[in-house]
A and B are shown apart, each in its own frame.
Chain A
Amino acid sequence: QQQVKQSPQSLIVQKGGISIINCAYENTAFDYFPWYQQFPGKGPALLIAIRPDVSEKKEGRFTISFNKSAKQFSLHIMDSQPGDSATYFCAASKIPTSGSRLTFGEGTQLTVNP
């Protein structure tokens, strides 16, 4: 049951370019949409997250764009750097008061060439 679909599966960008990763979700009850970054041999680390009451959130070079009506959200990495080379996962969850159960996309392997 794939509730969060992520694309592309892999992405190659030149240093200084813009990396764009897209996700679409099905469950309209989701109300928390984080992006995780994972390096080989490490667990996922939270990069940036958005709630559906805003359409965009920016933190440094990372921006989430959110389209509630289309049930889509995307991650934009500006001025991409070789150190950004990693696997990126979008996720979604419905937040109860005591925690969250994350549904992840399948991941995008980003390579930033120097």
Chain B
Amino acid sequence: ETGVTQSPTHLIKTRGQQVTLRCSSQSGHNTVSWYQQALGQGPQFIFQYYREEENGRGNFPPRFSGLQFPNYSSELNVNALELDDSALYLCASILKGGNTEAFFGQGTRLTVV
């Protein structure tokens, strides 16, 4: 096990709604990244948080936002859901100190109908 836990595992939302996905990392993992993985594709980088501040963002609109908390948990929020937001959302945490290995959670499968 990676020590990275995501909740919920599955979620169904209606177009236009808002959703919050959660991730709990291992103690000491002060960097967390979120990825979107569409069916049959590789994960796409959404953004990264380091010490509770966003410090890198991929090609995603502002309706994708996040938070990181001092207890090594984090959230991904998506507003005004669109059908194309249906995907597996993955969080990955990285050990403090620049360790290069990213530990992924099992993901949250979001379906927008």
Residue numbers of A with Cβ under 8 A of B are 1, 4, 6, 32, 34, 36, 41-46, 49, 89, 91, 93, 95-107
**Complex: A62 Cα to B33 Cα, angstroms:** 27
Question: Which residues of the other chain, B, contact A89 by a CB distance below 8 angstroms?
Answer: 42-43
Give the top 9 A-B pairs by smallest Cβ distance, nearest first. Answer: A104-B42, A43-B104, A99-B31, A99-B94, A97-B98, A98-B50, A43-B106, A106-B42, A44-B104
A-facing mask of B71-113, CB < 8 A → 1, else 0?
Answer: 0000000000000000000101010001011111111000000
A-facing mask of B30-52, CB < 8 A → 1, else 0?
Answer: 11010100001111110010100
Least distance between B53 CB and chain A CB atoms (Å): 11
Question: Which residues of the other chain, B, contact A98 by a CB distance below 8 angstroms?
Answer: 30-31, 50, 55, 98
Least distance between B37 CB and chain A CB atoms (Å): 8
The interface size bin for chain B is: 20 to 34
Is B20 interfacial (CB 8 A cutoff)? no
**Complex: A96 Cα to B94 Cα, angstroms:** 12
For the residues of A in contact with B, the DSSP-based class is loop
Q: Given A43-B2, A44-B90, are A100 and B104 neighbors across the interface (CB < 8 Å)?
A: no
**Complex: A102 Cα to B56 Cα, angstroms:** 11
Question: Which residues of the other chain, A, contact B59 by a CB distance below 8 angstroms?
Answer: 1
Assess the A32–B40 pair: CB atoms within 8 A.
no
Assess the A95–B2 pair: CB atoms within 8 A.
no
Assess the B31–A107 pair: CB atoms within 8 A.
no
- Chain A CB count within 10 A is highest, among B41, B94, B103, B104, for B104
- Chain B CB count within 10 A is highest, among A45, A91, A101, for A101
Least distance between B35 CB and chain A CB atoms (Å): 8
Assess the A100–B100 pair: CB atoms within 8 A.
yes
Question: Which residues of the other chain, B, contact A36 by a CB distance below 8 angstroms?
Answer: 104
Assess the A42–B101 pair: CB atoms within 8 A.
no
- Chain B CB count within 10 A is highest, among A43, A44, A101, A103, for A43
Question: Which residues of the other chain, A, contact B4 by a CB distance below 8 angstroms?
Answer: 43
Question: Which residues of the other chain, A, contact B48 by a CB distance below 8 angstroms?
Answer: 99, 101
**Complex: A4 Cα to B41 Cα, angstroms:** 12
**Complex: A107 Cα to B42 Cα, angstroms:** 6
